[in-house]
Structure 1
Amino acid sequence: MNYITVKEACEKWRIGIRIVTLYCSEGRIEGAIKKGNLWLIPEDAIKPEDRRRKKTSIQKEKEHVICKDKCDLQSQKPYENLWPFKSLYEDKDLFVQIVKHFPYPMHICAPDGTMLLANEAYLKFAKISNPEKLYKKHNILHNPSLERWGVKDFVLRAFQGEVVHIYDVKVPHQEIIERLGDDKEVVSESIYHNITAFPINDSNNQLQFVVFIFSTSRYYQDRLEIAKGKEYIDNHWKERFDIDKLVSIVHMSKYHYIRLFKQHTGMTPYNYYQDIKFNKLKEKLCDGSLSITQIFDECGVNYNGNFAKKFKQKFGMTPSQYRTLMLQK
């Protein structure tokens, strides 16, 4: 007898994976057998009848009323039903308070690039105790470091009226503190941010403000040598692990650095590197558009090599089994 997989049955019967799996577990598909975590279904099996209740005329009538109400709401004027928030549009002081206490670092600039407002989270990040020294004096467009940071084009696009996003950018925290902050302390953390910038126009579609919002994507705060090591591994995880290159960055011997790294993180640098590889593999195995070999290639490892065996040792299943399990969810 020929068998097909759950996924093939889904395509054949035009129903979801969960429904087919449920039919198998309830014994409603004659001849279906389970091999490990996988169900195999006879190729000529008949699709079970859907026992879910069909909609009654009363249910249909209710849906019609809901749909009508929804259409009525959509036909009304913008903000007409947002009366609880009406004061937000009229009270500028309230708006400033919302910006001030927004939990992510944010600053607002004028069309010429002059900084007009920064919230508490940004002031804390830049270690600025007196924001009045900053407002109307600092101009983001005149910052000579934008190009070196790799964000100049991103910033210019925002001032040209475009909503832009940039991901996982290393923010030069130390440099920002030295340039803007009152406390010139040396910091040991490395911070990567996702940044969103968007324009705010007036009723005539003229640019009034540009808003920048920062959300942390990666954060390293540890002994400087450990933070540098983690950062290097995170940025070079696709490459072959090179302990010599790593210790040259932190200016320590192999023996002392491996011991120090394990003391602070509970694992060796190579184990840390392997964990990143494993997590990236797991993430990409959920993408059904790529073959497993392609996924391993993208992660810089050979599918036919030792890493596939280590994957099974760590997670109790092969990459193929893990993928099948994830795609069934």
Structure 2
Amino acid sequence: MSNIDKNAQKEIPDFLVSLFESFPYPLQIFSRDGTARMINDAALEMIGIKSREAHVGLYNVFEDPIVHKLGVTDQIRQVLEGKTVYLTDFTASYEDMIRYFDVKERNLKLIISDITCFPLKNENGTVEYFAAVFIFKNVYMGKEEIGRGKQYIKTHWKEPFNADKIARAAHLSKSHFTKLFKLHTGLTPYEYYINYKINKLKEMLLDTNLSISQVFAACNMNYNGHSARLFRDKVGLTPSEYRKKYQNK
């Protein structure tokens, strides 16, 4: 039983220890207060935890800032009422994991998993512990996917923004791509698209052979109050002010 914390081993019934050792998927067992009592080798490896000693007895799921950030703390607490809790597409930033926990340095951006939490009851039917089983769906390094998404935006910047098409070009679901893109660039795909479009407007505004309305039309945008405000918000100048300031430079 080398893969089980000795203190936890004394507290947890033998049949649970046996189940734990034979379980083929990443698994953790927690006490009612949310403290980790057992973690198997599969979970250590997939999560990237450096050592069992740095986790068992120290980590508390109810105090986990990533769990709080994703807004699922109260949902997990339902397991204490005897309910089985299903967390779908639990998406953890690996940068956040490095920031908050003693995990290995790895070239990862996101770990996406489905987690099932279920109660472990004693002979009296009281929830004494609860288990969490992890099904890791995707582990993203991200550079290749983000590159494909950026290239699609650059190729289709004159077209109306379409998040589904961009995500398909990156071979990801829309929700996963959006999260990964924001982690890599600090921008949503839509913000990146708008910035790219504004930069094209800035380039074309320097061509004085075109009127401002023609520049906007060439970028497949109507020149109206909304588009003028958008340009001013992004650049700090109106289109005409930008042209006057930079056309001779």
1:143 is matched with which residue?
Answer: 64
Find the aligned partners of 1:253 and 1:207 in 2 and give their Cα distance: 55
Find the aligned partners of 2:61 and 2:91 in 1 and give their Cα distance: 17
Find the aligned partners of 1:179 and 1:91 in 2 and give their Cα distance: 33
Decide which of 147, 155, 166 is 2:76's aligned counterpart: 155
Residues 48-79 of structure 1: per-residue CA shift (max 9 Å, x gap): xxxxxxxxxxxxxxxxxxxxxxxxxxxxxxxx
Unaligned runs of 5+ in 2: 1-12, 150-166, 177-186, 198-249
Look up the equivalent residue of 2:189 and give its one-letter code: L
1:217 is matched with which residue?
Answer: 137
Find the aligned partners of 1:251 and 1:187 in 2 and give their Cα distance: 29
Residues 170-196 of structure 1: per-residue CA shift (max 9 Å, x gap): 12333224333343x253332321111
1:246, distance to aligned residue in structure 2 (A): 2.9
Instruction: Summarize the alignment of residues 2-21 of structure 1 with structure 2, pairs less than 5 Å apart.
Output: none
Residues 103-161 of structure 1: per-residue CA shift (max 9 Å, x gap): x3221100111100111121112222321121111111122442311211221112222
Find the aligned partners of 1:123 and 1:198 in 2 and give their Cα distance: 20
1:105/1:253 CA distance change after superposition, 3 Å: farther
2:189 is matched with which residue?
Answer: 246
Percent of residue pairs bearing the same amino acid type: 21
1:226, distance to aligned residue in structure 2 (A): 2.2
Task: Give the structure, 1 or 2, with the largest relative contact order (CA under 8 Å, sep 6 or more).
Answer: 2
- Aligned 8 A contact 1:168 1:218 in 2: no
1:98 is matched with which residue?
Answer: 22
Decide which of 117, 121, 125 is 1:205's aligned counterpart: 125
Unaligned runs of 5+ in 1: 1-88, 238-243, 255-329
- Of structures 1 and 2, the larger Rg is shown by 1
Find the aligned partners of 2:47 and 2:148 in 1 and give their Cα distance: 21
TM-score, structure 2 normalization: 0.51
Q: RMSD between aligned alpha carbons?
A: 3.6
- Aligned 8 A contact 2:27 2:43 in 1: yes
1:240 is matched with which residue?
Answer: none
1:248/1:177 CA distance change after superposition, 3 Å: same
Find the aligned partners of 2:52 and 2:193 in 1 and give their Cα distance: 36
Count the aligned residue pairs. Answer: 156
1:216/1:91 CA distance change after superposition, 3 Å: closer
- Aligned 8 A contact 1:188 1:224 in 2: no
1:233/1:93 CA distance change after superposition, 3 Å: closer
TM-score, structure 1 normalization: 0.40
- Aligned 8 A contact 1:126 1:181 in 2: no
